[in-house]
Amino acid sequence: MESVGAAVIGAGVVGLACARALAQRGIETLILERNDAFGRETSARNSEVIHAGLYYPTASLKARLCVAGRRQLYAFCSTRGIAHRRCGKLIVATSSAQESRLGLLQQQGEANGVDDLQLLGATAAATLEPELKCSAALLSPSTGIIDSHALMLALLGDAEHAGAWLALRSPLHGGSIEPHRIVLEAGGDDRLHLHAAIVINAAGPWAPQVAASLAGFPPALIPANFHAKGNYYALAGRAPFSRLVYPLPAAGGLGVHLTLDLGGQARFGPDVEWLADPPPRTAVGEFDYRVDPARGKAFYAEIRRYWPALPDDALAPAHAGVRPKIAGCAEPAADFLIQGPAQHGIAGLVNLFGIESPGLTACLAIAEHVVTELGLD
């Protein structure tokens, strides 16, 4: 049976950031990934937005780690030459009845430490974006976009340079919690039995299933598991805006918004498509990432609230992602749930539950938080 200082389960952006943080502290680190490449699930199927941190309840993990992570991420991108752009974002009120909500959102952002928000009237917003129709807007200059694949490649490169290694096609089959160590069984046909002093459960949508597969972990501490699919549609032709444009937040997400990639292509989405009943607690499965062209029909009315000039038949299916949720569609949005030894009493184990947006923005700060939970800072 092999031994390792730390095993990170999941090679998405958060798992890679955690592996980097551990390896850079001299801990022998193995990254277990069930797919044939890193970042194949949530981390590669999102808006690639660097969020400022204005949406989340004050003092929540999402607020704290997003604001800290955004600053760290911009610095990391600049130092490492990772493609990104601080393009800014406009959150828009499309009627006078919505304008008070913009003011509340500004107050929330400022309470979270976002110090550059600007409330604009219709004329000022149209000066910035002539195609935009709104009664008022909140400008977030610190919002940006990033090449998420390049970010993950840099995180993996740092981790490997510090001695970590990535094991692809190595799903976790289960494990057990023993005194002073955790035993894992992973791999394909040639399964590996592994002793690890530290285990980071960064399995994204399947983190609750991973925790349930560890014999000896208290089932009562595993949150409910829900999945919400988000579909994106690409705009044919030139993007009409130079900044991101978001409506006010909607149930389950941030509304059908316009994002840009670094090549200037505009995408709209995601919507919120709650998937079928929560999967069995121990079942790790696959998602259907196909985008139904018919769902795009509902996008036109939403987009035309702030961009009336959207042409007919201008949207085509692009891609889809799945948010790892720990609260259902009828419940308030949940905070990140990061369980370390102080929460569950098991030395060396950290579970990362419900790491949806702003997980990409917060990845470096989440890794630091994990290190702190382990008493390694």
pLDDT band at 259 (very low <50, low <70, confident <90, very high): very high
Per-residue pLDDT reduced to its tens digit, 31-53: 999 999 999 999 999 999 999 99
* Closest by Cα among 35, 32, 37, 40 to 191: 32
What is the domain count for the chain?
2
What is the per-residue pLDDT for 191? 87
Residues 154 and 293 both lie in one domain: no
Q: What distance in Å separates the CA atoms of residue 153 and residue 28, rounded to the nearest whole number?
A: 19
Here the CATH number for the domain that contains residue 134 is: 3.30.9.10
Q: What distance in Å separates the CA atoms of residue 17 and residue 23, rounded to the nearest whole number?
A: 10
Q: Residue 173 corresponds to which amino acid?
A: H
Residues 249 and 301 both lie in one domain: yes
Q: What distance in Å separates the CA atoms of residue 44 and residue 360, rounded to the nearest whole number?
A: 10
What are the Cα distances from residue 34, in Å, to 40, 210, 284?
10, 12, 10
CB 212 within 8 A of CB 297: no
CB 65 within 8 A of CB 56: no
Residues 130 and 230 both lie in one domain: yes
- 77 falls within a domain: no
- 128 falls within a domain: yes
Q: What distance in Å separates the CA atoms of residue 250 and residue 27, rounded to the nearest whole number?
A: 42
Here the CATH number for the domain that contains residue 25 is: 3.50.50.60
Per-residue pLDDT reduced to its tens digit, 326-352: 999 889 999 999 999 999 999 999 999
Place of tokens 């030395």: 347
Residues 190 and 271 both lie in one domain: no
Residues 164 and 270 both lie in one domain: no
Residues 156 and 167 both lie in one domain: yes
pLDDT band at 180 (very low <50, low <70, confident <90, very high): confident
Residues 212 and 231 both lie in one domain: no
What is the per-residue pLDDT for 62? 98
| Cross-strand bridge partners of residue 174 | 185
Residues 230 and 252 both lie in one domain: yes
What is the per-residue pLDDT for 343? 96
What is the per-residue pLDDT for 284? 73
What is the per-residue pLDDT for 192? 84
Write down the mean pLDDT value for the chain: 94
Residues 237 and 109 both lie in one domain: yes
Among 32-36, 93-97, 128-132, 158-162, the least confident range: 93-97
- What domain range is 252 assigned to? 87-142+225-325
pLDDT band at 2 (very low <50, low <70, confident <90, very high): confident
What is the per-residue pLDDT for 279? 65
Place of tokens 């409506």: 247
CB 325 within 8 A of CB 354: yes
Q: Residue 272 corresponds to which amino acid?
A: V
Per-residue pLDDT reduced to its tens digit, 211-233: 999 999 999 999 999 999 999 99
Residues 138 and 235 both lie in one domain: yes
Mean pLDDT score, 174-203: 92
pLDDT band at 277 (very low <50, low <70, confident <90, very high): low
Residues 246 and 317 both lie in one domain: yes
Q: Final residue of a domain: which of 289, 309, 325?
A: 325
CA 305 to the chain's CA centroid: 27
- 256 falls within a domain: yes
Residues 214 and 274 both lie in one domain: no
What are the Cα distances from residue 61, in Å, to 43, 51, 69, 120, 212?
19, 14, 11, 29, 23
